[in-house]
Structure 1
Amino acid sequence: MLGDFETHGAVLRRYSRTVSKLSADDAAVVARFQAWLRAAGRSASTVRSYGTLAAEFAGFAGTRGGLACCDAGTVGAFTVSLAGYQAKTVEQKLGALRSFLRFASEEGLAGTATAEAVPAVPSRKQARVPSVWDPGDVARILDAVDRGNPCGKRDYAIILLVTRLGLRSIDVKRLEFADFDWPGNRLSVAQAKTGNRIWLPLLKDVGWAVIDYARNGRPASGCPQVFLRHTAPVGPFSDQDHLHQTLVKYARAAHVPLGEERRHGMHSLRHTLATRLMEGGTPVEQIADILGHQSVTSTGVYLKSSLGLLSRCALDPDEPGRQVPR
């Protein structure tokens, strides 16, 4: 933290992602902001993520006199504290901050010029090539899971759900027993990001992994969620549990290299599934449905993660040019 302060002139926000000391007044403001977003028709995931950022900024502004004293200097200092995040994350956070300050201005909680003080970040949409695992590496990771203990049974089922069905981590954590249609071999998923409910085929290996965990590994609990924490207090995962270390643990056990250039969280398994489906000729519209994308534009980014697909798009410099009709 001291090194970051010396480099950036601020303690980076990654050291304080949760806001546990928010005042009652600030918490009420954040709740009203989220209601304002819902009234504007924003998605559930936007309301949640924007609310988290609003709480972070309210806590930050509280150390500088509160929202009433917020000015360009406060906004600038908060922006500097985001230096440790990925560029895309900074872009999203500043967009949320701009929205929150517009709300605060309308409510008379902050000056009208504060939202204009939020710096613009050049859009980097789809600039990053998605991280994709080699199929052999994924197989070795799954083989490295010790399914002889309860945690291993849980982790194996979770990784399979992401790997084989492309579920987001948050949707896996929120899965309930009622979402499984066992006679029909189907799984119903209410997607947290889009708010849509989709039906996916319950593949045999996935279904048996869930059954094995439910029968032989899951702690006794009345919680409707399928997957639980195994340390006290036993209960469902929180939305802040990204399960990143779960995948990293088994990747290391399988001696699969994890380079700094690769983002190796659970989301990368979704990238891998999408890329393999695209390479296999699955229509992009079907892939978008499986992954829960609202637009096929979001799905098309996986073209960049496959050298095989890119080679099909390559132009032959020696091919004779064609006359383009006018």
Structure 2
Amino acid sequence: MVALPVLVSGLEAEMIRLGYKDSTMVWYRGAWRRLQRYFAARGVEEFSLDVAMEWVDEACGFFAKEQAGTLKQSDVYLFRVAQMLGDYEAHGAVVRHYSRTVSKLSADEAAVVARFRAWLRAAERSASTVRSYGTLAGEFTAFTGTRGGLARCDAGTVGAFAATLAGYQAKTVEQKLCALRSFLRFASEAGLAGTATAEAVPAVPSRRQARIPSVWDPGDVARILNAVDRGNPCGKRDYAIILLVARLGLRGIDVKRLEFADFDWPGNRLSVAQAKTGHRIWLPLLKDVGWAVIDYVRSGRPASDCPQVFLRHTAPVGPFSDQEHLHQMLVKYARAAHVPVSDKRRRGMHSLRHTLATRLMESGTPVEQIADILGHQSVASTGVYLKSSLGLLARCALDPDEPGRQVPR
């Protein structure tokens, strides 16, 4: 157990090293002072996550709001204060899912990550693999920077980093550990780390064939869309984003990267450069999708010279980063529509793609090219969807205006 002032001091130094802004640090210091007063009032000297969560709950009614789906961003920030202290006590690091950006790397560390990305490209890995593996390499390099660097990396370091992944979805842990194993193989070949470090990465049993995609009932999708308040700018944006995923099966990252130049309005077509495959495909620009985008651009989008269509509406206004997820956007409207959202089964934006594929198959569409629609490079990756036809997408896409038509189970 660690005394709370000592833990706070260590976390503060680490956050400064990671480049947290001065204004952010001022807010955290104020929260830490309030938390320390709470501990002192109860005669507790050593940090306890349970006591810290009691403080969070008393300060904002966190757990009741969480159940009701009414949490505010300020409530989540208080939750992070407690969780970050707990993670720092356990791992001596700021766990990645509480930091939106990869830690600032030194010039030498950044050069190592750049060499790793080049190594992946030489092995003809996909663009999305190069990006995601490179991001993980930056996170791990920053993590080892507090423990003597890559040259001193051993099984203990690898295990400590793997422990910071607790709380992620099993699929995410599997992907991150695969990326870590690949990076350590590169580091070993380059003489940057010991030859046995890659073998120290724990194995995660593959669940590819066991996974059953989460799908939504079309009626639930209709209720979610109807719950979006299209009278305000954020609502207009969110409505268009959800329609793009539900109707055209786009990945979240591809929606975030859409630019004005991708829209062929006279031809009613949309050109999508798929981040995962690096391929560009053309999709039909359905009327409801097109009008939703137009409504957002004309009446909701903040003034900006950014080429990306969809922007964050909080300062600093700009495009979404690749690390920002759209899952909570869908969950927010699902709760507003009183559509059940289970913690046991993740049903976010990506599950709308699953639903589209299922609808195409259940409609009797020939099972040939769903992989093309979903942007998979091989049929094996498509798994339970098989394939279907781009030509039938406009007729068979998930239609939120047909609530009575259910997806067979």
Band of TM-score, shorter chain = 0.7 to 0.9
Indicate which of 93, 102, 120 corresponds to 1:19.
102
Q: Which letter does structure 2 place at the counterpart of 1:163?
A: A
What RMSD, in angstroms, separates the aligned Cα atoms of the two structures?
2.3
- Larger mean Cα displacement after TM superposition, 171-180 or 232-241: 232-241
What residue is the counterpart of 1:185 in the other structure? 268
| Structure 1 residue 308 displacement after superposition | 7.5
Q: Which letter does structure 2 place at the counterpart of 1:298?
A: S
Report SS of the residue matched to 1:284: coil
In 1, Cα distance between the equivalents of 2:219 and 2:366?
Answer: 24
Indicate which of 144, 151, 173 corresponds to 2:234.
151
2:333 corresponds to 1:250: yes
Counterparts of residues 289-300 of structure 1 (less than 5 Å): 289-300=372-383
What residue is the counterpart of 2:292 in the other structure? 209
Report SS of the residue matched to 1:285: coil
In 1, Cα distance between the equivalents of 2:351 and 2:407?
Answer: 19
| Structure 1 residue 175 displacement after superposition | 0.6
Closer, same or farther: CA 212–309 of 1 in aligned 2, 3 Å: closer
Closer, same or farther: CA 174–67 of 1 in aligned 2, 3 Å: same
Report SS of the residue matched to 2:345: coil
In 2, Cα distance between the equivalents of 1:282 and 1:297?
Answer: 19
Counterparts of residues 102-251 of structure 1 (less than 5 Å): 102-251=185-334
1:70-99 per-position Cα deviation (integer Å, ceiling 9, x unaligned):
112211222233232222222211211111
In 2, Cα distance between the equivalents of 1:97 and 1:212?
Answer: 43
Contact 1:284–1:299 (CA under 8 A) maintained in structure 2:
no
Contact 1:284–1:296 (CA under 8 A) maintained in structure 2:
no
- Larger mean Cα displacement after TM superposition, 161-170 or 56-65: 56-65
Contact 1:13–1:84 (CA under 8 A) maintained in structure 2:
no
Closer, same or farther: CA 17–97 of 1 in aligned 2, 3 Å: farther
Contact 1:14–1:84 (CA under 8 A) maintained in structure 2:
no
In 1, Cα distance between the equivalents of 2:90 and 2:235?
Answer: 43
In 2, Cα distance between the equivalents of 1:59 and 1:302?
Answer: 39
Indicate which of 143, 162, 184 corresponds to 1:101.
184
1:243-296 per-position Cα deviation (integer Å, ceiling 9, x unaligned):
111111111111111111221211111111111111111223222211112222
Q: Which letter does structure 2 place at the counterpart of 1:292?
A: G
Indicate which of 330, 339, 347 corresponds to 1:264.
347
Closer, same or farther: CA 16–157 of 1 in aligned 2, 3 Å: closer
Contact 1:163–1:269 (CA under 8 A) maintained in structure 2:
yes
Percentage of matched positions with identical amino acids = 85
What residue is the counterpart of 2:16 in the other structure? none
Counterparts of residues 306-325 of structure 1 (less than 5 Å): none
Which of 1 and 2 has higher RCO (CA within 8 Å, sep 6+)? 1
In 1, Cα distance between the equivalents of 2:124 and 2:190?
Answer: 19
